[in-house]
Structures are given as C-alpha cells and as structure tokens.
Structure 1
Amino acid sequence: MLVYSCHGAAKQVTGSCHLIEYNGRRVLVDCGMFQGDRDAERANAAPFGFAPASIDALLLTHAHLDHCGRIPRLVREGFRGRILATSATRELARLVLLDAAGLQEEDARRAQRTNRNGNAPVELLYSLDDALHATDFFEPGIGYDQDIAVAPGIAARFLDAGHILGSASILLALEDGPRTRNILFSGDLGNPGRPLLRDPTPAPAADYVVMECTYGDRPHRSLPDSVAELYQAIRDTVNRRGNVVIPTFALERAQEVLYYLHLGLRDGQLPQQLRVFLDSPMAISATEIFRRHPECFDAHFLEVLRHGDPFAMPGLHFTRSTQESMAINSIDGGAVILAGSGMCTGGRVRHHLKHNLWRERSSVVFVGYAAEGTLARRIIDGASHVRVFNEDIAVRARVWTINGFSAHADRPALLDWLGPAPRRGVFLVHGEYERGMRGMGEALDARGTSWRMPGMGEPIKLG
C-alpha cells in the first residue's frame, strides 16, 4: 500500500514535511520549520504526527529553514535513518541549522536577562549540540540526475530545482513487482532566467506530483524592471541622506542582490560613494560556499566567475562580529544594509529596523516573500507601528516591495514546469490557502488536471 501524508505546508506556506509509507518503509521529504507568529512557534513544538524513530530516510530538497529547520528535533526524538541531499544542500543545511540553534540560544539568554516576573526559562526547540548531532546523519552529497537506492523497493532521483544553491525536486520510484509508481516532489521551484543558477529541470513523467504554489495566483514583475526599481530605491534614499535596509534571505537572495549592486556600481547606475554592508555571518559563509559549487551555476554566471569576483565592489563590507554590526547603526546615511532574516523573524535585521524604521529619510526594501504573521508582512501591509524587541517603533521609512527578485517560480513558470503531461493527481502545498493554492487550482481546472489540497496529517491512499 502507498500512502502519502502532509505534515507541514498543508494549506499554508511554511513547515514543509511530507511522508511516504510504502511496503513497511517510511520516507520523509523535508522536515521544515514553521515561520510566522506564535501559532508557528506552537506548531514547531507540537508532535510531528508520526514517530521519528520509524522513519527510514529523510530526503532534503534544499536548505531553507522552512524545509530543514526541524531536523535536529527529529533526531533528538529518535530518528536514526539516512539523510540524503545534494552536496551544496548538505553544506548549506549545516550552516542554517547551526545558525538557527545559535539564534534560539541567544534569544533565550536575552529573555532570561529581562525576566522580571519569575517566568520559567524559555524552552529551546533544539540546542547547538542537537544541531551538530543532526548533521552526523547526512550522507555524502547526491549528484543531480542519478538514481539512488533509498530503501528496498524505493529509489530517488534529485533534479535541479533552480531555487537556491543545491535545491532539488525529488522523483521517487516505488517498485511493486513488475509495476513502478512514481511520485514527484517539486520542492521549491526557482524562476527561470535568473542570473546565478540554472533553470529548473522540467517535471518528468510521474503518476503524482506534490507541488509548491507560493505564487500560484500571479506572475512576477519582470527582472529588469525589478532591478531598475531597486536602483531607484537606493538612489532616492541616498539623495534623502538615508540608509537602505534590505531584509535578505542568506541563501541565494543575498548573493543575487550583491551581484546586481556590483553591476549597478560598475555601470554607473548607483552612487559611487555607496557603502554596502552584508551584515549576516550566515550569508557571508553561504557566499563562500557558493564559490565551491560551480556545478549549480548558469553557464553565463560561470563565465563571469572565470573573470573575477562577481560579488566584489568598492565600499563592500562583510560584518561578522556583533561589534561590527552595532557600528553600522552609527551611520547617518548612504548605507545599504543587507541582513537576515528575510521575513524579519530573527537575526540582525531587527536591530537595523529598530534604528531606521522611524526615520523618514530611510527606506526598507523587501525583495522576497513574507509569510502571514511575520514582522516583514506587517510592515509590507502598511502597519503604522510595529513591535521590535518589545519596543513600539513607528514606521516612517519608505517601504518598497519588489517581488521580481523572488526565488520562487510564479504562476506561468509553475505551469510550464508541470507541463501538459497527464497526471493521476497533483497535490498543492506550500502556498497561502486563499491565494497561491486556490489560484493554482483554478489554472489546473482549466487544464482538466485533477488536484487537491491535503489537510495536515491527512493520510491519502494512492493507487
């Protein structure tokens, strides 16, 4: 019997986690963290919906926190199976998990220092030790387009998803005597035509497809228009003698924005006196990992790499230490600050927002998706005041939202990836229920493709 169940990103965007049960074997695809408000924190601490010790293998599509962030907890609660991922994902996931654990420990220490009511200490989802232990279960990296034995009767093939470095769609082949059934997990799909990474590999033939639909209801703005708007935002802010804060995902988005800043300075589209700060130890380390994985790059970007450093520019500063980060906040204007997290749920960007949101001269530029309930989403939706580190901050800075930089495929790209081939069923996950999921469902109806949105933990028998 073949049974699929969704234990994260069911009728919501984050927490991706999918379970396949077949002939007594259990394979998990992703084990991500829920992100957003207090409900997300409770979801991360809630039972998985399955026994971690019963899982034979975990296949990881990519290293974003909402796809890998609960792995240390999975291991702590009994998982002892194999973890399979591409080489780049394996490196990046270690970086992401250690960073997430460190931030949790830092937040817990801060909460304890300000605890004046005798509240119980904050309970960590996992510690640095847990994160380190979890990385021991990763096997050597998997190459694209190779058939890998996962468990008896189950094989996997990792296909380039073009989303972030090392990202993959995963095709599972399930053998039942002379019959083979296939189920394809899209993972997160990248937008074609990006400057750094290759385009996603089109979906191969498969009986069933589990497909993300973050932007299933709409197209993106064109990339050239988005770059032009980014340059305009920076020029306008510098002319007002303000700072530009760009909440940035450390993996791929930070590197892509750096690349366009490099081009803007080279071509005279940006002020030459501009000071750019990559204020994210994780993004700095990720940039170093990028240089080690040319197998993931677009052919044009590979050629750029051969002729120099595509991220280098005058006035670029990498700030690893806390002291260096704090010093940025003494800059009165003319700085572009890239800091995580992209949804403003943690990391150093919150400090920069605290110092710049209330300043009319400054700007905040969002270049990625912001889930409901996150600080980024509240700012984007027009909040007049937000809470940052338990302090009420007025939002007077100019807010720019430039969605053409998204690392997610838009509706036309998702449909192109899926292709016209008949499928027995498509399961829509990883999208807002009323927007991305319903929008993609309408498009699939127009094609005559059978689809459904699985509920959290709902067992679905597949013929």
Structure 2
Amino acid sequence: MAKLTFFGAAQEVTGSCYLLESPALGKILMECGMHQGGDAVDRVQDEKFDFNPAELNAVILSHGHLDHSGMLPKLVNQGFDGPIYCTQATRQLLRILLEDAWGLYERDLERENLRRERSGRDSIKPEYTEHDVEKVLRLCDGQAYRKAVKVGPDASVRFLDAGHILGSSIVELTLTEKGEEKILVFSGDLGNKTSALMNDPESPAKADIVLMEGTYGNRNHRSHQATLDQFRDVLHETWEAGGNVMIPSFAIGRTQEIIFHLGCLYHAGELDNWQVYLDSPMAIAVTEVYDRWLHIMDDEDVRCLNEANRESLREFLPNLRLCHTAEESMAINSVKQGAIIIAGSGMCTGGRIRHHFKHRIWKTENTIMFIGFQARGTLGRMLVDGIKEFRMFGDDFKVKARIETIGGLSAHAGQDGLIEWADNFETNPRFYLIHGEAEALDALSQRLWLDKGIKSEIPARGDCIAF
C-alpha cells in the first residue's frame, strides 16, 4: 500500500512538498519548495521538515521555481544524499536560481547578525551553505521528456511537458506493488496554452491518483488577443503621459515572454521609442539558457524569431539593455521617461524592483504592470489589491502610479484550462487539488463536479492518503 502525505502547497500557493512512501520505491519526496514572501532569513529559518531527510531515497522535481525547489539545499544540509530527478533544462536553471537565492540569504544573514551583534544577542547560524547548493547540483539527474527512468525497485518516472516554464514537467510515477500497477500523476504547474514560447501541456490518459494544481482555479484569463491589446494600450498610454513602466517579473518564464512580446511590437512598429531595461542578472542568465533551448519550444513562436532573422530573444528586441551591475541598475534612475524596466522579484518581495519603486511609485505618470500571480502577504498582492501607502527601506511611500494587471500573460492555466486537462483522463482517477488558495480550490472542485462529474478532494497540510 502506497502512502502520500501533503507537507506543503496544500490550500496555499507556495512551498510545494509531498512525501510518497511505498515498498516499490521506499520514501521519495516530490518537490521541496520554499514559502515566498517576507525576509529571506525568516523564510529559511522557519521552514521545518516533518520527516527525516536522511531517510529519503530520492527527490522528484517538476520544475525549477523556488516555491518548488528552494529548500533543496536545506534538505541536503540535513542529511539527504540521493538523486534529484528532473528534466535536463530544469537542471540548468537550478544552478542560476539556487545560487541567486543563496546570495540573497547570505547577505540578509550577515545584516541580521550585525544587528544582533550590536544589541548583544546571539548570532544566527546558517541553515545551509554554498557547499550544500553545489551538492544539490551534483545530485541532479536531468532526464529527457517522455523517457521512463527507474527510481526504485519497482517504480519508474516519466516527465511530460507541462508548458509552464522551460523544463517544467508533469510527473508520471508508475509503481508496482504485489503485481498490481498504480499510476500517480502530479500536474506540477500547468501552463497557459496562449503563453509565448511554451508548448501546450501534455495530457496523460491513465492514472489512479492525480495531484492537480489550482492556482487559478477560480478564474480564467483574458483572451490572448485582448491581453496583447491591453498590453500595447497600457504601454502607449504611459508613453503619452510621459511616464515609465515598471514590470515586476519572475526571472524564469515571464521575463522571456515579455521580451518576446515587446520584440513583436518592435517589429510591428508599435513600440513607440521605449528603451527596455532588463535589470536582473538572474533573468539575464536565464534568458541565455532559454536561447540555448529554443529548439524545443513552440514552433510558431520560434518561427517569428527566424522570420526576423534573429537567433535569440536578446537579438529579437534590439532596444533591450542588459543591466548586470548595481551601477547599471542605479543609472536607470536618471531616465526621466520612456523606460520599460523589467526587474525582479515577481511578487515584489525583494530584488531591484523595490529600488525602482522607491524612485517612481509615487509619481502619477508611471505605471506598474503585473504579469503573474501575486501570493497573499506579498507587496505585489497588496498593490494589486489597492494599497495606497506602504513602508519600505524604513520610509513610507504613497502609491500614485497606475497599477495594471495583465492577467492573460500568466504562466498558469486558467480555470477552463485546468478542467480541460483533468477531463482527458480515461481511467476515472481520484483527484486531489493542491497549490492554490482555499477559495480557488473550492471553486475548481465545484466546476469539476458540475461540468464534468469529476469528484475531487482538497487536502490540508499534514493530511495523508493511501492508495
């Protein structure tokens, strides 16, 4: 009998973590994600494992985003020493993501310990080190899509394309217990079919258990054309107002999609005279990885690059300026108007975007454009919800900039896309809805039942099921 325990992203959007136990594979962890929002030191210190990492045989990772992978170094620090199965592209992206996260954690820890030293308090020891990050990368076993790989005495895994970000996967685990085959399918994060560069999510036909994400379980995105029209109109209106556009963007996926769409506007003669600044060393590095993997991406979008005689996303947008250093980032402050600033973090929990807010959020001619999900408790969510004033860097800031959400550029499937994916199974599996806020999962569960007759359950953290 297999047993599955939900340790994260259960009625919440971040911190994905699920423990699977079976005679067919021993103990395997699916995902090892970080909760997002708040100070890096607090996040890492507060994360606790409700299991012994040293007892795990392996980790299976659907994709590289930190809410799915960010606690891997801490897992290694506490004794995990097995393989980490993921796709080949995810393995390449993990180095960028985890090294960046380590740098932020190290700097925040140094600042916190300096404050503690001044007040006579004990310093905090790091929960993991740079050596743990390197060990995670050595343990990664990158696999091709659709190739069955043995992960236990009587278990195998296949990664199918989830269409979410580069390397993202739907995990298909096949277990054989006492001669009986059981299939668990974990959706990972399912992509939006209209996303630039990404292929449509694949649809496995057979499963006994399905874990399905429900980030947008309670709503749909705007149509693709309406989204692009809104995107173009907001840019033009801000240009006419003499302002600048700030785009808090996730380094993986959303940044590359924005560059692609800006490139399309440029080649259509519809980008006015904007100067575009990619102000994120991590996003720059990720974009280089995307360029190396263009051959596996959506054929139609790649053809747009080829028709423009461009072999990379960076070449596709000629007025793109890459800001590697802090000095290059600060130089943007002198640009009075006509700057599109793409900077992390995507939920405004840190990163260079907050420094651009400091100089521009209090000016009415400027626009902040959100293009991805904003989790509860983050500054991004508060701005989307209409906060008028907030505190940052020890100062109070009034929000006078225009706030726009371009929902159709999300990397996640909307409600209809999730239901369509769920309806493709031919074997009447048991559905468990995860990776979504409670109200989103409730709405998705109701639609699944009313529209398709699919029963589903919504586990809470710590719940355990047997199959």
TM-score (norm 1): 0.95
Task: Look up the match of 1:216.
Answer: 217
Going from structure 1 to structure 2, the CA distance change for 1:323 and 1:114 (only over 3 Å counts) comes to farther
Matched-pair contact (CA < 8 Å) for 1:2–1:461? yes
Matched-pair contact (CA < 8 Å) for 1:34–1:41? no
The code of the aligned residue for 2:359 comes to H
In 2, Cα distance between equivalents of 1:43 and 1:106: 13
Task: Look up the match of 1:90.
Answer: 91
Task: Look up the match of 2:10.
Answer: 10
SS for the counterpart of 1:31 is coil
Q: Deviations over 1:44-79 (max 9, x none)?
A: 623211110111111110011100000000000000
Matched-pair contact (CA < 8 Å) for 1:103–1:346? no
Task: Look up the match of 2:35.
Answer: 34
Going from structure 1 to structure 2, the CA distance change for 1:165 and 1:126 (only over 3 Å counts) comes to same
Matched-pair contact (CA < 8 Å) for 1:35–1:41? no
**Which residue of 387, 404, 410 maps to 1:406?**
410
The code of the aligned residue for 2:221 comes to H
**Which residue of 439, 446, 456 maps to 1:451?**
456
My pick for the range that moved more, 442-451 or 393-402, is 442-451
Task: Look up the match of 1:131.
Answer: 133
The code of the aligned residue for 1:242 comes to G
Going from structure 1 to structure 2, the CA distance change for 1:265 and 1:48 (only over 3 Å counts) comes to same
Task: Look up the match of 2:296.
Answer: 296
**Which residue of 406, 411, 415 maps to 2:419?**
415
Going from structure 1 to structure 2, the CA distance change for 1:210 and 1:39 (only over 3 Å counts) comes to farther
In 1, Cα distance between equivalents of 2:73 and 2:38: 21
**Which residue of 319, 332, 336 maps to 1:315?**
319
Matched-pair contact (CA < 8 Å) for 2:249–2:372? yes
Matched-pair contact (CA < 8 Å) for 2:147–2:159? yes
My pick for the range that moved more, 16-25 or 125-134, is 125-134
The code of the aligned residue for 2:91 comes to R
In 1, Cα distance between equivalents of 2:278 and 2:112: 27
Alignment of 1:158-197 (within 5 A): 158-197=159-198
Matched-pair contact (CA < 8 Å) for 1:165–1:296? no
Q: Deviations over 1:90-127 (max 9, x none)?
A: 00011101111111122233445666644544554433
Question: Per-residue deviation at 1:261?
Answer: 0.8
Matched-pair contact (CA < 8 Å) for 1:45–1:125? no
Task: Kindly report the root-mean-square deviation, in angstroms, between the aligned alpha carbons of the 2 structures.
Answer: 1.9
The code of the aligned residue for 1:354 comes to K
Question: Per-residue deviation at 1:347?
Answer: 1.2
Task: Look up the match of 2:49.
Answer: 48
Alignment of 1:302-451 (within 5 A): 302-306=302-306, 307-308=309-310, 309-312=312-315, 313-420=317-424, 421-434=426-439, 436-446=440-450, 447-451=452-456
SS for the counterpart of 1:399 is strand
In 2, Cα distance between equivalents of 1:282 and 1:165: 15
In 2, Cα distance between equivalents of 1:84 and 1:262: 35
Question: Per-residue deviation at 1:41?
Answer: 4.1
Task: Look up the match of 1:261.
Answer: 262
In 1, Cα distance between equivalents of 2:291 and 2:40: 38
In 2, Cα distance between equivalents of 1:360 and 1:247: 18
In 2, Cα distance between equivalents of 1:89 and 1:295: 15
Runs of at least 5 residues in structure 2 that lack an aligned partner in the other structure: none
SS for the counterpart of 1:100 is helix
Q: Deviations over 1:178-210 (max 9, x none)?
A: 310001000000011322011000132101100
Going from structure 1 to structure 2, the CA distance change for 1:17 and 1:368 (only over 3 Å counts) comes to same
Matched-pair contact (CA < 8 Å) for 1:340–1:347? yes
Task: Look up the match of 1:284.
Answer: 284
Question: Per-residue deviation at 1:390?
Answer: 2.8
TM-score (norm 2): 0.94
Question: Per-residue deviation at 1:39?
Answer: 12
SS for the counterpart of 2:404 is strand
Question: Per-residue deviation at 1:356?
Answer: 1.1
Going from structure 1 to structure 2, the CA distance change for 1:125 and 1:356 (only over 3 Å counts) comes to farther
Question: Per-residue deviation at 1:445?
Answer: 1.9
The code of the aligned residue for 1:16 comes to S
Q: Deviations over 1:3-47 (max 9, x none)?
A: 011111011000011111001701111101001347994586232
SS for the counterpart of 1:191 is coil
SS for the counterpart of 1:329 is helix
In 2, Cα distance between equivalents of 1:369 and 1:450: 26
SS for the counterpart of 2:334 is coil
SS for the counterpart of 1:265 is helix
